[in-house]
Chains A and B, each alone.
Chain A
Amino acid sequence: MSATAATLPAARPRQLALSRDDLVARGVLLAVVAFLVLFLLAPMAAIFVRAVQDNDGNFVGLKHVVVTLTNPSLLQAAWNSIWVAGVVALISVPAAFVFAYALTRSCAPLRGTFRLIALIPLLAPSLLAAIAFIQWFGNQGIAKPLLTWFGISTIYGPLGMILSEVYNTFPHALMILITALTLADGRLYEAADSLGTSTLRKFFTITLPSCKYGLISAATVVFTYVVSDFGAPKVIGGNFNVLSVDVFTQVVGQQNFGRGAVVGLLLLIPSIVSFVIDHRVRRKLRAQLSARSVPYAPKPSRGFDLAMTAYCVLVCALLLAVVGMALWTSLIKLWPYDLTLTLRHYEFVLVDSDLAPAYTNSLKLGLYSAVFGSLTVFVGAYLIEKTRGLDVVRPLIHLLAMLSMAVPGLVLGLGYIMFFNHPANPLGFLYATMPILVLSIIVHYYTSSHLTAITALKAIDNEFEAVSASLKVPFYKTFFRVTLPVCLPSLLDIARYFFVVSMASLSGVVFLYSPDTVLASVAIMNLDEAGEIGPAAALASLIVLTSIAVCLVYAVATRVLLLKTQAWRSVARR
């Protein structure tokens, strides 16, 4: 405080001698860094390199960039992506806000059930919604007359995309907004009440400002999701071209890697922008959270509660109508000619067709990602949070972990082809194998798992490692004996998350599968293209049902496990 920088030694301060423990910790930490550099940073760099090379690897400067950016059809696709994403955000965010408001601020009954139903879209690949909307409003759809009555000729195109994406993004926006609304300080409302403030004024002066950041965050998340989603536009987009489909056609269809790389970089822009916005917003949210606030407890109010219940029922009915349509389609012989119930489509996708391994492959991918993903993420978070040394590397892990969120699956997949499929890459043997699918899933969904793990680790005492060092017990013993058991609930949560997202994931893996490792989500896309809508619906339903089953098993298993291994929690005082 009193001495100035001038009096300080310029040399790098000496470090304590390293114990064996330190070496172990540093070794594993470096392994995690290497993992993230190799499977996140390097593929991204490969895209940048590829954007200035021709297919033979010669440097061509900005040729691809110029050609691509002056291409009218591409500019049209970019504009289409943007305005559709904007419209989706304008519908999805307000709809989710009212829903979140009903769940957190009203005394509507069945709020827990409403919440669970609203989260169902998370369990399905984005293709499912598109298939369901085609069944509802397609050329032979049940509700096609409704469309005609509005004077709209077809569901294929922007309308179908918007409907599907509103369905897909609803739970994403909802989760953010529920958090934002839950953070409200009840005392503010009590203070306002004591001053005789009207309900409307309270809403505009307290509620809206307090979830401003949540709304911004939700809007950017929805926008990015839509711009980089691939499944729904592929199925229901028709001739309406968007960037995500364009990059797929360029790379997989025409092997035009240069243009693919440039479009990939374009797709990165909204993600990076929203990443920055989201990052800043989250910091503000945390600041709100850290204030010692009293949670808001809603009071019953008949009219309001009734209106909110009605709204929730309506939204849930619409959401269930989508997934229900997919389920029904999978169970009838052939719409609209033969409506007899059958399991034929399930038999077809699981046994008879050459796509039979798809479902088991997806299951395997889910299991591997759950096991290896949760361990990698947790160990990485533990080492950052609880060990010391290598201070240069630590922020790097954190940065890379956060960066993974900013990279859309499609762009990551693109990077993987360009990096691992490169003839000079010694890791090329990984290409088109199950391990690379697992690795891409772990990297793509790293961020939120990392944050979950960090939160869990921050909640336990910071001095465990210091205590064990003073008792001469190696830190990894304490990790296995104390930290891991204490954090088991979070670890299982991360594992479940990895399972569910890998079952539904399409955009990243679509570049990486081989005939041996074809996945259910990819198979749905191929079946849909072949007009096999029944089997496609069957496979999509299977994914949803499997994820629901896994979530149920998880709920039961954690309860049993907690009773058995976490006895110390239940006996805690208070």
Chain B
Amino acid sequence: MSRTLRSLLLHAVLVAAAVLTLLPLVWMLAASLAATGGSGDLAAALRRPTLAQYRTLFERLDLARALANSAGLAAAATAISVTVNALAGYAFAKLRFAGRDRLFRALLATLVIPGQIGMLPLFLLLKELGLVNTWAGVLVPSLASVFGIFLVRQYALAIPQSLIDAARVDGAGEGRIFAQVMLPALRPILVTLAIFTFLGTWNDFLWPLVVLTDDRLYTLPVALANLLGEHVQDVELMMAGAVLTVAPVVVLFAALQRFYLQGIVTTGLRE
């Protein structure tokens, strides 16, 4: 087979696979722009696209509130967990203290424990603390993550010790060294961690479903699953809801994919 023919064949397969991959998302978007009942004939519907479904979501079904809830929660989880994990990851990599490496190994071992295992007692604990059906309750499991600490530590290990020693000689305290020397040096990995955390919190379903009972507090995935119960026949409306849920994370990924993919590769291959 000639080189040109092989190249043609390869690209034909690539295009076919790309079309298959994008089809569900394109269909979702197209159906969301159709009038109620119009998704059966998308070609006709797309000649006269309408935002009617989105209007219904915002005006009648209050999904703007769920959108704000999701954004606020994901932002809060990201800010808190990046800070907490950065502090711990740096300490495990660069500061000397008794039992450090044993402690870190013990933490790594917990990576095999899936979050669902402790979910029932955690719920009971939050109930005792009065945190069921609150933002704090949703945030509690994502305050710190072993994976995040690991990510920061691996990156921090490669930062020259001389940077820290020089700052100490200049008389900087440990807090200032972290804030003014380490944070800038750790920036790339912190961006990666921030994207992971934001997407993870945004997309999370089971835990918010368990903790939140008041529909005014629902995040988008929970609100969407709830909407499905009443509007399962309204295909176009449900697709608008799906677009609303998916679009922000897709845009975020498109803008920052360099950091995101690099993070997967470094953690995925470190094994």
Same complex: no
**Chain B residues packing against A (C-beta within 8 Å):** none
